[in-house]
Amino acid sequence: MIRWIAVRTAAVWLALGLVLAGAAAQAQSVQVTVNGTQITDQQINARAQLLRIEGRGSSNSNRTQMATDELIDDAIKLAEAERVGIAVTDAQVDQAYGNIASNMNVSVSNLNQVLTQNGVDPNTLRSRLRAAIAWQQVVRQVISPRVQISELELDIQAEQQLEETSSFDYILKEVIFVIADGSGMSASRRTAEANQYRSGFQGCGGAVEQVLQYQDAAVIDIGRRHATQMPEAIANELAGLTVGQLTRPRVTENGVSMYAICEKAEARDLTFIKQDLRQEAGQDALEQQAEAYLERLRNEAAIIRR
């Protein structure tokens, strides 16, 4: 009798287990297969929830479609990374996840809590980060070496951007009236002192001796700078000044600052303009080639939607 009860009990638990397993399979039904990698409705719903708390997507159906497309791309990116021998470690994912928390000025545990409270498993974000890191490495290893930038085109663009105010080379000194934390010194008072200094300025030779008359003020040798290395507003002002003059006082994070012109010469230097253009052009070309590469992988992938 006892044995019969035990057998019957075991049968009941087995049947219950099969029912629960069937329910779990139904709850996580496969919606898409990408090169053999399965994407379930649970993954799609979780990614859609992440999109919702990020403020992306115009409706639930829109977010579901966006989530599906993202997960398909993630599967493609991870597969390509594996094909070229790239493996993303848990430590890399942890660092990227921690960087997000840091940018939000919260701890990792607080970020976990924020996600969980909004119905998002933190692993959903970690999965996205893993694919992003993998693709970043694919782009760096496979695509970046293919990007070519035309130096002639950069020269032409740099010439077009070079303005009259950007055609000077300087030797500069910075005169700064410091506003120390907790000093109680106001920016308006320091600006007034800077203007007083400026009105009596007689050139770079006497800059240091003159600044000694003021408390918490200093002269810093900046050295040679081309106009293209300076912020546009300062470059424009410097262009209108002559040797021995100071720019007007500007409030900065360190205090009140002025620039003194010790030497000034006309110089059409395209170096720094070209550096910026090269970086912009290279980034644009890299993004275009990366998207074209991903599009080719999409077209070649075996994607089955159910």
Q: What is the pTM for the complete model shown?
A: 0.54
Mean pLDDT of 9-38: 58
Burial of 258 (0-12, 13-18, 19+ CB in 10 A): buried
Q: With both helix axes pointing from N to C terminus, report the angle between 151-161 and 271-300 in degrees, rounded to the nearest 10.
A: 130
C-alpha pair distances (Å), 279 with each of 130, 154, 272, 289: 26, 11, 11, 15
Mean pLDDT of 243-267: 90
Domain ranges in the chain are 29-146, 163-266
pLDDT of residue 5: 37
pLDDT for residue 8 is more than 80: no
Q: What fold characterizes domain 163-266?
A: Chitinase A; domain 3 (3.10.50)
The answer to whether 260 and 172 are in contact (CB under 8 A) is yes
Tell me the pLDDT tens digit for each residue of 145-175.
665 554 556 555 555 555 544 668 889 999 9
Residue 244 per-residue DSSP state:
T
Q: Which residues contact 107 (CB under 8 A, 6 or more apart)?
A: 101
% residues pLDDT > 70 (the chain): 77
User: 29-146 and 163-266: same fold?
Assistant: no
CATH class of 29-146: mainly alpha
Tell me the pLDDT tens digit for each residue of 76-93.
999 999 999 999 999 999
Tell me the pLDDT tens digit for each residue of 193-247.
999 999 999 999 999 999 999 999 999 999 988 887 888 889 889 888 899 999 9
pLDDT band (50, 70, 90) for residue 125: very high
pLDDT of residue 161: 54
- Cα Rg of the chain, angstroms: 31
pLDDT of residue 280: 64
Three-class secondary structure of residue 40 per DSSP: strand
